[in-house]
Structure 1
Amino acid sequence: MRILLLTTGLKLGGAEQQVAALARQFIAMGHAVAVVSLTPGQGVRLPDAATLLQLQMSKTPMSMAKALWQLHAFVRKWRPEIIHAHMVHANLLARALAATGNTPPVICTAHSAREGGRLRMLAYRVTDRWANLTTHVSPQGRLAMVSAGAVPAARIAVMPNGIDTSLFRPDPAARSDARAALGLSGDTRLLLNVGRLAREKAQTVLIDAFARLLSEPGTHARLMIVGEGPERPALEQRICQHRLDGLVTLAGVRHDVPALLNAADLFVLSSEIEGMPLVVGEALSCGRPVVSTDAAGVAELLGECGEIVPRGDVPALAAAMHRALAAGLGSAQEQTSRRQRVLSHFSLEAVATEWLACYEHLARTEPD
């Protein structure tokens, strides 16, 4: 098939990484892929075989109209058999394109449990007729969109993100090398968080919980937060308030996350808002124990393979972290069970195969 993946952007985020991963998998499976990004900048790596177009769109009406015209011209030239949009702005532009007629089927995927306020929900509702299918990456997110009136329940399905289990896998050598590079002694536990430094990720709560954890006698631990974003100054201030310099590292953007996950003794997610947090699945795929808040999509990913605590509850998060560290990495069987959960339910290959079946069904049933 000829598959066009339309995305709001290609910066380093979970939805953007999923677009890149699907592009890699589709190409590996013998399909042609074009990736169109509405906005400039690129933090995720795309396969060389993918056709890339960046529209340089801003939020002005003139820029949006120009982006729509450019997208229309590209579709006529490249002739995709399906258009699969990701994130709210790309979803709405794809529907605007479909409204002009003579386009292939359009699928719109939402990645956050909170896609936006009333205006965005109204925009989704008004343009729903031009999408052949809307999907969400988690059941909670799907229900949130239905409850907000953005889409009728019969016209939105759940399709999870896929985890690249060939990239995220247990690797003892990578663990040893990464821990040596980080200067970690054998008895120092590494807690890892990966995500954009943004309010919805609630890393201030994580830092508060980590400070509480360190008050436990005999606790030797470090916390690394991987990512970049507007909350960095607030997080730096919180680290100073707790006198955690040297114990909490804001590591910025890293491209060795699989190695860091292997180096970690515990992965912690503190988010208030998620859709389906890819990094939780990536941690499980590496066999790591996980503690997380009850953000959307977490329960479906974790199952019985981790502990979930209420969002914003610092004592509960600290206590769960303490229990997880006390338990250690777990037995070889426990580590294998974590990875097997991802292999069975959320592997990239399985999700890509399911998408292809959906694409082919829509392409066959779309009227000429």
Structure 2
Amino acid sequence: MTRGYDPGPRIAHAGGINIGTPDLERSLWFFRDLFGMEVTAEDDGVAYLRGYQEWDHHCLVLTQQDEAIINAYSFRVARPQDVELFHEQLTAEGLDVRVLPAGSETGRGEAIRFLIPGGGHPIELFHDMARPQPPAGLRSRLPGNSSRRRGLGVRRLDHLNVMTSPATINQAEAWLRESLGFRRREFLTLPQAPGLILASWLSVNSKLHDIAIGAAPNGQDAQFHHVAFAIENFHDMLTAADQLKDLDIQIDAGPGKHGIGQAMYLYLRDPGSGHRIELYSGGREFFEPDWEPIEWKADNPIGLTWYGDLPSVDPQTSSYVTTTPSAGLDLPHRRT
């Protein structure tokens, strides 16, 4: 019955993010020394990093440049041929798709780059990625770990969170589901306007989200809210909060527990770039093939925080709701 069946191109998981930072050394200190991530390569103003349970070459690229913008949001596809198949599909949809040759990011194979319709965020899809061994001094005795646990103990990249204008969020969210195959897990609407999505959490696996998309308070497209990195447990989250406070790192919200997804969170800022970073632990998993998305109403505060102080969402005073911009289709010029 299934002989010869091809499900078509599929996304496997959130693969990475390329962060533009005006202060590369400060960002490196933050992710390498404080978070404990392994630097797998450095080249001409660009650094590549991964968590201690990641074997792919990198999940994080830090690019030294004058403007603090997000250069790319990356996803790994399920099969090598899916890069080409997505290229064909997206071109047929009328998107402008750029081909990035192998090595455009160190350790990564050929990729394609395009903008989310209705969102404007630069997305890169890839499959091939090197899996380097760590240096002898960083190797773990646990064969499942790529390196020893260090610093605050970042295990891996968990998800990406982006925003676009309220006028285009429904289009962008629907496109992510219909064209890239993401499944809506939970979503947020206004009580007085149930057809308008305020935020949606989407994944292609058992997680709550590989990507979340929300309505930007500033009304602009192509906005970045945060990238989340997973740590092991709730105790680690509290230890991180204690150390970050003592180092005078800006904390935007938390520690607390989300009602949506039920993970523990802590939002802070990379001091080199000013972009928002989330430390993330736990959360509900979704295994049901017939899962019906949970709808939350914006007047229910426990969605944002089940316990912990509710973050300020006043756009005039809150640092939690501010966003930072993304690059366009062309990669920005980096500073060397």
Higher helix share: 1
Structure with more contact order per residue of length (Cα contacts < 8 Å, sep ≥ 6): 2
State the TM-score, normalized to the length of structure 1: 0.27
Look at both structures and tell me which one has the larger radius of gyration over its CA atoms.
1
Higher strand share: 2
State the TM-score, normalized to the length of structure 2: 0.28
